[in-house]
């Protein structure tokens, strides 16, 4: 039998061979494997049972054609995906992303991350993810509806409340989930537990919309408190201006921090008086506009094109990347440290490149990895599934209280696991090991399937 180090190397070589040309997926796998050596040394049965060989191969990858007609009657074709990565501890669970960058590598990386994120929540949910290279930008409501209907016409054959439960991600919010659910119901039956992130009027959970952003801030608060710091009176920068970013900003402001900048894919806006969140909500949620429009109502604020993390000239204390993968490279990370950043919590999935993370950890920055810090969204999705099964709905306060408990528990697990394996303070390693062990143990008990 190979020792832990050689086993990890052997697996990564195999994964690279089998997944050539999938850099995002390989990055996600490498980041997990890099954490696991100490736990493999302690548990040779994981090597004996070839858990890493099995856990890095998706149980199923579904790809399909999504034809749809635009308002002018032209016919378009997109590609749809659903990666059902691991169902050891529950039905596949994870969002759908509609964005032109979506490809198999991206969906596989997201589904892989989701396995360990979902495990960390303590809920009974496996890992999955899906989406399409469809670009919702500039599309009419009717076009979005027709696309969602076509997408679901194919996807419905593979999902179900105890089988696979999709939700939202970039480009998929309550509007899209509404259309997707309508089509599912037409082709099947009334079954709200088949999707989460539904509008509240049709079985959605109160607090789901806010959960990812709020949860990320709750997680950051635990990191800070443990290190004798707090959010009150501090300057924060949040990238993005979508669902995750908006509710991270809302919670930060509520906790007394001042958010001085946010962004979208074109550029970022800096408002040293503190970002006016109602204005951002109006631009992004009501008008579906661009963040650039912020300066029309706030002439004191400044708009810059380009990347917020490498472009910020102001100093600030805490960073909340809530946009997308790969937004912080090594050079941006160096710039952030120069600007005074001491704590970073990832609201997005894999926003930091591997060398950026390494630098943050080396420099002792408080780093909250996405699979722990942004797990609040999927955790409340699981609470939505519970409410749907019980045919009931809980109050916002009830859901938010449960979310706070879950985020605290995830933080403790990541912290204590890191300590147990001699990596005190390394929440990435702690989260990876804790998320992995729960799934690996259950896989051994279920046999080679």
Positions touching ligand GLU (CB under 6 A) are 93-95, 167, 169, 196-197, 349, 377-378, 381
Residue 304 beta carbon to ligand GLU: minimum distance, rounded to whole angstroms: 28
| CA proximity to 258, closest of 340, 336, 318 | 318
User: What is the distance between the alpha carbons of residues 40 and 55, in angstroms, rounded to a whole number?
Assistant: 14
Q: Tell me whether residue 46 or residue 347 sits nearer to ligand GLU (CB atom).
A: 347
What are the φ and ψ backbone dihedral angles of 98, each rounded to 5 degrees? Answer: -110, 105
Q: Tell me whether residue 102 or residue 258 sits nearer to ligand GLU (CB atom).
A: 102
Residue 112 beta carbon to ligand GLU: minimum distance, rounded to whole angstroms: 12
| CA proximity to 194, closest of 211, 209, 182 | 182
Residue 91 beta carbon to ligand GLU: minimum distance, rounded to whole angstroms: 11
- Enumerate long-range contacts of 200-205, CB under 8 Å, 24 or more apart: 200/393, 202/178, 203/384, 203/387, 203/388, 203/393, 204/174, 204/177, 204/384, 205/380, 205/381, 205/383, 205/384, 205/387, 205/393, 205/394, 205/399
Q: Tell me whether residue 204 or residue 430 sits nearer to ligand GLU (CB atom).
A: 204
The tokens for 281 are 């909500």
Residue 381 beta carbon to ligand GLU: minimum distance, rounded to whole angstroms: 3
| CA proximity to 250, closest of 216, 289, 273, 299 | 216
| CA proximity to 438, closest of 9, 48, 43, 84 | 43
Which residues on neighbouring strands pair with residue 167, listed in sequence order? 95
Q: Tell me whether residue 118 or residue 149 sits nearer to ligand GLU (CB atom).
A: 118
Residue 172 beta carbon to ligand GLU: minimum distance, rounded to whole angstroms: 8
Active site residues: 129
Q: Tell me whether residue 210 or residue 317 sits nearer to ligand GLU (CB atom).
A: 210
Question: How many other CB atoms sit within 10 Å of the CB of residue 299?
Answer: 7
The tokens for 375 are 């797990």
Residue of minimal CB distance from ligand GLU? 95
User: What is the distance between the alpha carbons of residues 289 and 294, in angstroms, rounded to a whole number?
Assistant: 10
Q: Tell me whether residue 46 or residue 376 sits nearer to ligand GLU (CB atom).
A: 376
User: What is the distance between the alpha carbons of residues 109 and 85, in angstroms, rounded to a whole number?
Assistant: 10
Residue 84 beta carbon to ligand GLU: minimum distance, rounded to whole angstroms: 13
């Amino acid at each position: 039998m190979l020792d832990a180090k050689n086993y990890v190397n052997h697996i990564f070589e195999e994964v690279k061979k089998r997944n050539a040309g999938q850099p995002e997926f390989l990055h996600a796998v490498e980041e997990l494997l890099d954490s696991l050596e100490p736990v493999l040394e302690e548990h040779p049965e994981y090597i004996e049972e070839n858990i890493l060989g099995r856990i890095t191969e998706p149980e199923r990858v579904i790809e399909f054609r999504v034809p749809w007609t635009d308002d002018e009657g032209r016919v378009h074709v997109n590609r749809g995906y659903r990666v059902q990565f691991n169902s050891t501890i529950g039905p596949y669970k994870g969002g759908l992303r509609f964005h032109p960058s979506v490809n198999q590598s991206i969906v596989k990386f997201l589904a892989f991350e989701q396995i360990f994120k979902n495990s960390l929540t303590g809920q009974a949910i496996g890992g999955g993810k899906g989406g399409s290279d469809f670009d919702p930008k500039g599309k009419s409501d009717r076009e979005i509806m027709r696309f969602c209907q076509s997408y679901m016409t194919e996807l419905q054959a593979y999902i179900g409340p105890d089988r696979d439960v999709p939700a939202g991600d970039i480009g998929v919010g309550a509007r899209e989930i509404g259309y997707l659910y309508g089509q599912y119901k037409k082709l099947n039956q009334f079954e709200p537990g088949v999707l989460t992130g539904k509008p509240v009027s049709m079985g959605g959970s109160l607090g789901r919309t806010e959960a990812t952003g709020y949860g990320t801030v709750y997680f950051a608060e635990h990191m800070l408190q443990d290190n004798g710091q707090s959010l009150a009176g501090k300057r924060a920068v949040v990238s993005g201006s979508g669902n995750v970013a908006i509710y991270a900003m809302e919670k930060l402001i509520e906790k007394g921090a001042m958010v001085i900048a946010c962004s979208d894919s074109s550029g970022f806006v800096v408002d040293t008086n503190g970002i006016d969140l109602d204005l951002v909500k109006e631009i992004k949620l009501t008008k579906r506009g661009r963040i650039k429009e912020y300066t029309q109502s706030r002439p004191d604020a400044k708009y810059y094109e380009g990347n917020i993390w490498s472009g910020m000239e102001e100093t600030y204390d805490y960073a909340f990347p809530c946009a997308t993968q790969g937004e912080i490279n090594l050079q941006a990370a160096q710039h952030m440290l120069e600007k005074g950043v001491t704590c970073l919590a990832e609201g997005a999935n894999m926003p930091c490149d591997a060398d950026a993370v390494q630098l943050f950890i080396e420099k002792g920055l408080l780093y909250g990895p996405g699979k722990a810090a942004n797990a609040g969204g999927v955790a409340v999705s699981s609470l939505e599934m519970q409410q749907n099964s019980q045919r009931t709905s809980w109050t916002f306060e009830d859901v938010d209280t449960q979310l706070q408990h879950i985020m605290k528990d995830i933080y403790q697990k990541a912290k204590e696991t890191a300590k147990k394996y001699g990596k005190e303070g390394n929440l990435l390693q702690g989260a990876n090991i804790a998320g992995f062990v729960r799934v690996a143990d259950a896989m051994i008990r279920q046999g080679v399937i």
